[in-house]
């Protein structure tokens, strides 16, 4: 991925504190969304803070996506909502009382 894609200086040009902060923000987001582990976050954060050039700053971010949108853990539910069960009318079979069981009829 080209360093310019993230807005960092390309190649051996020096980076600013603001650009290091931006890299840390991206790493923090990647950690919060589960893209990197806590150990990776620590290692990459140290690398970003010690970066002097754009090439060094992009290295800890190179395998992370550019988009910063939330990651959806589950696919969206696209099924239509279920309709409530229809209530039975007085003439329907489910509204009629059940016949007494055979055990209740014997003395």
pLDDT for res 49: 97
Express each pLDDT in 56-78 by its tens digit: 999 999 999 987 555 555 544 55
- Mean pLDDT, the chain, integer: 78
| Residue 2 main-chain phi, psi, to 5 deg | -75, 135
Q: What is the pLDDT of residues 17-48, one digit of tens each?
A: 999 999 999 999 999 999 999 999 999 999 99
Q: How confident is the model at residue 81 (pLDDT cuts 50, 70, 90)?
A: low
Do residues 83 and 49 touch, judged by C-beta distance below 8 A?
no
**Chain centre to alpha carbon of residue 100:** 56
Quick one: pLDDT band at residue 6, thresholds 50, 70, 90?
Answer: confident
Are 17 and 27 a contacting pair, CB within 8 Å? no
């Amino acid at each position: 991925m080209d360093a310019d894609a993230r807005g960092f200086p390309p190649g051996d040009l020096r980076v600013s504190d603001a650009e290091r902060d931006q890299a840390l923000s991206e790493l923090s987001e990647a950690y919060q969304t589960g893209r990197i582990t806590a150990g990776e976050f620590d290692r990459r954060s140290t690398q970003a803070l010690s970066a002097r050039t754009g090439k060094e700053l992009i290295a800890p971010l190179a395998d992370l996506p550019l988009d910063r949108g939330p990651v959806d853990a589950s696919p969206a539910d696209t099924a239509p909502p279920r309709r409530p069960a229809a209530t039975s009318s007085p003439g329907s079979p489910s509204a009629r009382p059940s016949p007494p069981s055979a055990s209740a009829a014997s003395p």
